[in-house]
Structure 1
């Protein structure tokens, strides 16, 4: 299972988030259809672009609380000062991807930044 962790500036469009997701998939050399879940933090729960993207792609959007993000932060690879200030995690997108993909997950694409949106991909180790 592959989870896409997403982060964004307030008011970021679904198109911008989609381009970040597409860039991450290209980086991992996988098709966008192989992503089975989108994930983000509690702070983005009501972000219209995030909700619209999940609906458009017919994918579940997992909203992770701070405890879930904190649990995986030692496995994140990049540090965003903005993310630390807003969410208390070094990379919201990386932490969300790892947490959504499960306990034995690993990052396959570290945080990519595309026009105000970020995307990271994690694969659960229990399925390939």
Structure 2
């Protein structure tokens, strides 16, 4: 998942619901301490996996995200980074209704 600092639990849940749900949540290391993402992981009963996203190739390309995170989509890169090499995006980045959070779904073997 990717999200803005002001994203709420509702924002994160909305993005994730739009993407179809998950078995685990992955987000960049600098976002993993957010109370909202921690609350979402606890509410869903899934692990929260802090990951590196820089340099990961993604189907979606946002110029703003490229400048900030050195990847095209934080949500897609986080989903791919949490899985072993060969992982693939099965649901590209979807945005919460309020525009504060994004979620993407990848498949592959856990690291």
Q: Distance in 1 between matches of 2:54 and 2:77?
A: 8
Displacement of 1:99? 1.2
**1:91 has 2:86 as partner:** no
Q: Name 1:29's counterpart in structure 2.
A: none
SS at structure 2 position matched to 1:18: helix
Give the helix-richer structure, 1 or 2. 1
Deviating 4+ runs (over 2 angstroms): none
SS at structure 1 position matched to 2:95: strand
**1:9 has 2:21 as partner:** no
Displacement of 1:86? 2.2
Give the strand-richer structure, 1 or 2. 1
Q: Distance in 1 between matches of 2:89 and 2:3?
A: 19
Q: Name 1:49's counterpart in structure 2.
A: 36
Describe the superposition over 1:25-83 as per-residue Cα deviations: whole angstroms up to 9, x where unpaired. 1xxxxxx3xx2110011221222211110111111111012xxx235x22x10012232
Task: Structure 1: give runs of 5+ residues left out of the alignment.
Answer: 1-5, 26-31
RMSD: 1.7
Q: Distance in 2 between matches of 1:84 and 1:43?
A: 16
Q: If the length of structure 2 is used for normalisation, what is the TM-score?
A: 0.87
